[in-house]
């Protein structure tokens, strides 16, 4: 009897050891694959684990020329933004799909899941945002992954654009001469053109659904928010520009985006 018990225990111990070894190997491979993928993303300037919040508006300088102003609100690790693993994995999947499509920067927020994500975005935005403006205005909130080349760094971003400025991005002719403070903000102009197109489609679908008496519950992939944001503009002085202390506002370096403009049939 004792011999039989020893044989069974010995066989089960071997099974337990093999199972534990397999579990450890699987966990190690998962960590190795995750680290390898993250290092590849770092090499490509892709920060998918960080969610950024920015707002943009158009202002006119003393020279009468219009400028695109882009301001950072804050950032959060994606794990803070989305606690549920399944939804975070889904969002990472959407973000990585967007990264593979250079000519599509707006991240789709379709259906019930998209509405859930937008609600979460709005909550975190309100936590980070300081409303220090003089008067309230309508702002369009849209999740983007700015992928237009050449960019050294991309991250999923919650972008706010003042609704009254959005029509400026109806065509390349109406916005290509906007002055920018950083050369990379030329990509923001292309993104805002895309936002303008997508927002117009959304507004048309909402109007059609309301006219037909249908539900509009999950049709909004961009939200309109009533906010009081500062739109003051601080212009670098001639002395600051001359001494190199600050960069001047300048024409977008469209020559760097020649291939992208050609792909978009804008050049």
Each residue's pLDDT tens digit, 77-95: 877 666 666 666 667 666 7
Instruction: Average the pLDDT over 127-149 and give the result.
Output: 89
Residue 148 neighbours by CB under 8 Å, 6+ apart: 102, 103, 105, 187, 190, 191, 257, 260
115-143: average pLDDT: 90
Higher local confidence (pLDDT), 242 or 212: 212
Q: What is the pLDDT of residues 21-80, one digit of tens each?
A: 565 656 565 565 555 555 555 444 455 678 899 999 999 988 899 999 999 999 888 776
pLDDT the model gives residue 239: 85
122 and 160 in contact (C-beta within 8 Å)? no
End-to-end Cα spacing for the chain = 87
Residue 156 clears pLDDT 60, i.e. is over it: yes
Can you give the pLDDT at residue 146?
85
| pLDDT for residue 110 | 85
β pairing state of 156-162 and 50-60: parallel
Q: For the whole model, what pTM was predicted?
A: 0.79
State the pLDDT at residue 44. Answer: 47
* pLDDT tens, position by position, 195-226: 999 999 999 999 999 999 998 888 999 999 99
Q: Compute the half-sphere exposure of residue 226: CA atoms within 13 Å on the CB side of its CA.
A: 1
Average pLDDT of every residue of the chain: 82
pLDDT at 81: 64
Q: CA 140, CA 181: separation in Å to the nearest integer?
A: 22
| CB within 8 Å of 173: residues ≥ 6 apart | none
**pLDDT value for 43:** 46
């Amino acid at each position: 009897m004792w011999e039989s018990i020893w044989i069974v225990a010995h066989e089960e111990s071997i099974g337990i050891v093999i199972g534990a070894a397999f579990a450890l190997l699987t966990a190690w491979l998962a960590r190795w694959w995750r680290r390898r993928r993250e290092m590849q993303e770092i090499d490509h300037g892709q920060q998918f684990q960080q969610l950024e919040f920015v707002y943009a508006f158009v202002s006119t300088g003393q020279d009468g020329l219009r400028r695109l102003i882009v301001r950072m609100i804050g950032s959060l690790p994606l794990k803070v933004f989305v606690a549920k693993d399944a939804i975070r994995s889904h969002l990472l999947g959407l973000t990585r799909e967007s990264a593979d499509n250079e000519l599509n920067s707006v991240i789709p927020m379709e259906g019930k899941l998209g509405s859930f994500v937008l609600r979460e975005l709005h909550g975190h935005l309100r936590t980070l945002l300081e409303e220090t403006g003089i008067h309230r205005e309508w702002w369009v909130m849209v999740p983007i992954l700015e992928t237009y080349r050449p960019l050294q760094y991309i991250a999923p971003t919650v972008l706010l654009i003042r609704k009254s400025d959005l029509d400026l991005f109806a065509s390349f002719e109406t916005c290509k001469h906007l002055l920018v403070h950083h050369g990379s903000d030329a990509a923001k102009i292309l993104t805002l053109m895309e936002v303008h197109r997508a927002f117009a489609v959304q507004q048309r679908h909402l109007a059609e659904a309301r006219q037909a008496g249908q539900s509009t519950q999950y049709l909004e992939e961009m939200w309109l928010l009533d906010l009081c944001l500062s739109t003051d503009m601080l212009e670098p002085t001639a002395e600051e520009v001359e001494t190199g202390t600050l960069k001047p506002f300048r024409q977008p370096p469209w020559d760097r985006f020649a291939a992208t403009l050609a792909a978009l049939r804008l050049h």
